[in-house]
Amino acid sequence: MRVYFDNAATTPLDPEVLKEMYKVMENHYGNPSSIHAHGREVRTLIERSRKTVANLLHTSPAEIFFTSGGTEADNTAIRCGIADHGIKHAITSKLEHHAVIHTLEAMQKAGVIKLSFVDTDDKGNIDYQHLEILLQQNERTFVSLMHANNEIGTLTDIEQVGNLCEQYNAIFHCDTVQTMGHYAHDLSKLKVNFLVCAAHKLHGPKGVGFLHVNHKLKISPMIYGGSQERNMRGGTENVYGIVGLAKALELAYTEMEQHQQHIQGLKTYMIDKLKHEIPGIGFNGETAPEKSLYTVLNVSFPEMDMADMLLFNLDIAGISASGGSACSSGTDIGSHVLNAIGANPTRPSVRFSFSKYNTKEEIDYTVNKVREVCLVNA
């Protein structure tokens, strides 16, 4: 039996998405920048996809810019948002994705900004009082905080962050790569300047995403070379990917409630089963449904011999998951997220992440195999 529990890394392509993309590949090959009929056909597909995305998010198509994925979108928002608005101070957390942290750290090293880290607790929750203290400085600030952590699943109240940013005239960039398509984002109400998506996290294709840029905030391109994306991103558009992204997001919104119930049921079932089967089991981050991304469960296992072989043993058993540990030596940098929340470095951790395609039978199989590995290495 092969079980795929690494959906936070990437998800299987939905057959309906593949079907939609294949139709474009087979029948529409014109360059969307060309003015002839073949080009106009493809341009129509792109703009129809843009409108689909915008309608689902309750925003204008003019605020949606297609990119190569989440990393490019994050970099564009951070680099151009800071440069074009003379920002000298940025706030983030030590739990952010490296696409955010490494970009901000590089800008700090270059002397462009001063970088502050908001406090977080041992579950990965943002300290909103500390965030407000950091925002109370006189300079205009750039805030970058993700909606849900990709390793431990803890959710951030981005409505509260957005309200604080508006109050202190700060620019708010939110990485929603893990939550796009899993929660409804109403951009007519959410006070956010930049929002990010990667299609392959919601059963769409790899190599495509989008950046939402609020119309009140203008930025320059990060990639030059052509007039594509309304002069915001040079380079011929990934037409098949864009069509696939729009279809994947449309399916996600149509099926959102039933998938939330199904996947949250799987996560709760696995938590209960692990607690029953493995003494001393623990969890990194929040696990309560209202505080945690329902697709992610980060499990902290009891100390064991050959802990670094845990993932390997699971792979041998046919189970695909991801993991890591907090820093335990000078040579092992470990997970920056687990380090930030003060996780025990002697306990191995595994992230199990679920999708609509997973089943309770797969969880039963996985927990049994995990129990066997724990018993052998106890």
Q: Is 1 exposed, middle or buried (0-12, 13-18, 19+ CB in 10 A)?
A: exposed
Active-site position among 165, 174, 197, 327: 327
CA atoms within a 13 Å half-sphere pointing along the CA-CB vector of 26: 6
Instruction: Name the 3-class secondary structure at 249.
Output: helix
What letter represents residue 18's amino acid? Answer: L
Cβ atoms within 10 Å of 235's Cβ, excluding its own: 13
How, if at all, do strands 282-284 and 89-92 pair?
A: unpaired
Structure tokens at 349: 């951790």
Residue with tokens 């608005």: 85
Strands 141-144 and 114-117: unpaired
Which amino acid is it at 63?
A: E
Decide if 327 is catalytic: yes
What six digits make up the tokens of 371?
């129990």
Q: How far apart are CA 301 and CA 307, in angstroms?
A: 9
Which sign does the torsion angle of CA 266, 272, 277, 281 carry? positive
Output the CA–CA distances (angstroms, integers) from residue 183 to 57, 85, 257, in the order listed. Answer: 11, 30, 9
Which DSSP string do the residues of 66-121 spell out, in sequence order?
EESSHHHHHHHHHHHHHHHTT--EEEE-TTS-HHHHHHHHHHHHTTS-EEEE--B-
Which residues make Cβ contacts (< 8 Å) with residue 92, sequence separation at least 6? 100, 101, 104, 115, 116, 117, 118, 143, 144, 145
Active-site residue set: 327
